Amino acid sequence: MINPSLKINELRQQPIGVFDSGLGGLTVVNQLMNQLPGESIIYFGDTARVPYGTKSSLTIQRFSVQIARFLQQQGVKLIVVACNTASSVALEEIKESVTVPVIGVIEPGARAALRESATKRIGVIGTSATVSAGKYEAVLKSLDSSVEVFSRACPLFVPLVEEGWIDTPVTEEVAAIYLKPLMGKNIASLILGCTHYPIIKATIKKVVNGNVQIIDSAIETAVEVRNTLQSHKIMNESSHLPEHLFYVSDFPQKFEEIARRLLGRPLVNVHRIALDNSI
Amino acid sequence: MINPSLKINELRQQPIGVFDSGLGGLTVVNQLMNQLPGESIIYFGDTARVPYGTKSSLTIQRFSVQIARFLQQQGVKLIVVACNTASSVALEEIKESVTVPVIGVIEPGARAALRESATKRIGVIGTSATVSAGKYEAVLKSLDSSVEVFSRACPLFVPLVEEGWIDTPVTEEVAAIYLKPLMGKNIASLILGCTHYPIIKATIKKVVNGNVQIIDSAIETAVEVRNTLQSHKIMNESSHLPEHLFYVSDFPQKFEEIARRLLGRPLVNVHRIALDNSI
């Protein structure tokens, strides 16, 4: 029983909790809205402390657990860790800190990549913390020990997306520099291991070989969320319109512009909230 | 009287407190070590919540006041806000929260730029928060109302420095894009309004007109610190070797490499510390 204080019918109508280090997880929210239009969503973006991708595991774990507990307090029926960095280094700590099901973005992305990779040669790109943690490689190898994984950190992609340099010569040049070592490995698929990266998918496609399948974890994660809701029998089947509520820890510079780009529509119903914590 | 509990002789031997949103302020520490070799220093870098430059004034003020209070608790005789973003949006709040003298990096940089600008046409580059705040322009105009100021945010410079892409074609291309609008303004000097920027000074020089004076606030800030210590009669005149102590709120990815680049020497005597706070 996920939440003993709620009857199953009430639980079904509870929102899905989604969190990210900042606004990148809105690409996952976009997919959830598309694939699960009846579900309410509560999002938390830790915009006061973003980015996580360059920070230590200890700090990422502390921040992530704090946010997961906040979402559980809001009554969510399931938590999506819509951040590759937090999914890579803090998923176990998050699962231990709450009683609802927790879904990260690593396993869905890894499964999709395997499905699309006849040669079992898979590339992974992400933040420094995600690549250092090696979680994609570990999950891929646990699913199929014969797979070969080639990873590369691309720390400039997030600032480029947030600067709005989506389809520019500079971004293409940076992508070419980062991806060149992977291209020599004859990979069959490339996992976009950061929620910001789908925004520059077209630029990434330009610099990789044409036959490389690009794997967008956001789409696969939404599929996994649907499957989990079904298996736990907690899909919202009510005819009420869903409610979408967004919390952030800061309203940063360019907030509306970045949020709209990542969510694919204007962001409404947004509140700033302070969580008690220590650095 | 700065600190009534200490006699003037004891106060002289107290350290200088320096803080920054992350490690960029180490370029100011480098200048302090060069110009004031007898002074002890306590540094705080908020590496768990860096960067500040994209965040809101409210959040930057809260974080900055918290750190200034921490430094005062450590017994510092003076605080240097070695961060253009915090100096731009939180200097008054910091001054109100402590009893020791507080020196920001804006006024020293502005004074140096005026001195170097016969035509009184001055360029300023910095983070989004620094440029939005318009503090350089306000200070310059208060010093000389006939000055003309042209500002430009360069959000990609900090990630490029932290990625180690110091003297690369991509950095030069990004600099050319950012600085092109300023070059059309026939500026006499260009203020590097972010403590990371001196690291790419050579690349910036390549893309600006040869006669533009580049103003590095770190050097000017150290001069201002020396003047303030002299006027308050709190310069350390003891023959004891100074002590340098560094606190950070996180040990991020690439910490040692970035710190060495900014400080100009390896960073030793570093401790991680948690400050109680709210997001």
Residue B83 annotated in active site: yes
**Domain for residue A3, yes or no?**
no
CA distance B63 to chain A (A): 10
Element (H, E) at A57: helix A57-73
Q: How far is CA A194 from CA A46, A78, A190, B216, in A?
A: 16, 21, 12, 35
Q: How far apart are CA B246 and CA B25, in angstroms?
A: 11
- pLDDT confidence tier of residue B254, bands split at 50, 70 and 90: confident
In a shared domain, residues B192 and B116: yes
Contact A252 B54 (CB under 8 A): yes
Q: How far apart are CA B191 and CA A146, in angstroms?
A: 55
A-B Cβ pairs (cutoff 8 Å, strict): 102
In a shared domain, residues B22 and B75: yes
**Domain for residue B67, yes or no?**
yes
The pLDDT of residue B1: 40
In a shared domain, residues B165 and B110: yes
Q: How far apart are CA A14 and CA B35, in angstroms?
A: 61
In a shared domain, residues A213 and A248: no
Q: What backbone phi and psi angles, to 5 degrees, belong to A176?
A: -65, -40
Which tokens belong to A265?
């529509």
Burial of residue B238 (number of CB atoms within 10 Å: 0-12, 13-18, 19+): exposed
Contact A274 B278 (CB under 8 A): yes
In a shared domain, residues B99 and B233: yes
**Domain for residue B12, yes or no?**
yes
Which tokens belong to A64?
């992530």
Query: Total domain count for chain A?
Result: 2
Q: What is the CA radius of gyration of chain B?
A: 18
Q: How far apart are CA B77 and CA B103, in angstroms?
A: 12
pLDDT of B171 higher than 70: yes
In a shared domain, residues A26 and A70: yes
Contact A59 B46 (CB under 8 A): no
In a shared domain, residues A75 and A88: yes
| Mean pLDDT, chain B, whole residue set | 94
For residue A22, give the CATH number of its domain: 3.40.50.1860
Q: What is the largest CA-CA distance in chain A?
A: 55
Q: What backbone phi and psi angles, to 5 degrees, belong to B269?
A: 60, 50
The last residue of one of the domains, among B179, B198, B217, is B217
Residue B210 neighbours by CB distance under 10 Å: 6
Contact A279 B275 (CB under 8 A): yes
The catalytic residues of A are 83, 194
In a shared domain, residues B37 and B48: yes
The last residue of one of the domains, among B187, B217, B247, is B217
Q: How far apart are CA A234 and CA A10, in angstroms?
A: 9
In chain A (279 residues long), the average pLDDT of successive 10-residue segments reads: 65 96 95 96 96 94 95 97 97 98 97 96 96 97 98 96 95 98 95 96 94 93 96 91 95 91 93 71
Q: How far is CA A142 from CA A114, A136, B121, in A?
A: 11, 10, 62
**What does the pLDDT look like over B3-23, one tens digit per residue?**
556 677 789 999 999 999 999
DSSP A253-278: TTHHHHHHHHHSS---SEEE-PPEEE
pLDDT of B278 higher than 80: no
In a shared domain, residues A124 and A202: yes
Mean pLDDT, rounded, for B39-61:
95
pLDDT of B104 higher than 60: yes
Which positions ≥6 away from A22 have C-beta within 8 Å? A45, A46, A47, A50, A51
The pLDDT of residue B2: 52
**What does the pLDDT look like over B235-249, one tens digit per residue?**
998 888 999 999 999
**Domain for residue A254, yes or no?**
yes
Look up the pTM and report it.
Answer: 0.93
pLDDT of B76 higher than 80: yes
- Domain residues for the domain of A241 are 8-104+220-272
**Domain for residue A255, yes or no?**
yes
The last residue of one of the domains, among B170, B198, B217, is B217
Residue B69 neighbours by CB distance under 10 Å: 14
> Which chain A residue has the Cα nearest residue B276?
A278
- pLDDT confidence tier of residue B279, bands split at 50, 70 and 90: very low
In a shared domain, residues A149 and A94: no
Mean pLDDT, rounded, for B60-71:
96
**Domain for residue B68, yes or no?**
yes
Give A165's contacts in chain B (Cβ within 8 Å): 156
Alpha helices in B74-191 (DSSP H): 84-97, 106-115, 128-133, 135-143, 157-163, 169-183
Distance of CA B264 to the CA centre of its chain: 15
Chain B residues interacting with chain A (CB cutoff of 8 angstroms): 46-49, 53-56, 58-59, 128-129, 132, 155-156, 158-160, 162-163, 165, 169-170, 173-174, 177, 249-254, 273-279
CA distance A231 to chain B (A): 36
In a shared domain, residues A225 and A213: no
**Domain for residue B2, yes or no?**
no
In a shared domain, residues B225 and B208: no
Q: What backbone phi and psi angles, to 5 degrees, belong to A127?
A: -75, 170
Mean pLDDT, rounded, for B30-58:
95
The pLDDT of residue A275: 76
**Which of A21, A55, A255, A272 should we substitute to test contact with B (largest number of B Cβ atoms within 10 Å)?**
A55
Mean pLDDT, rounded, for B184-204:
96
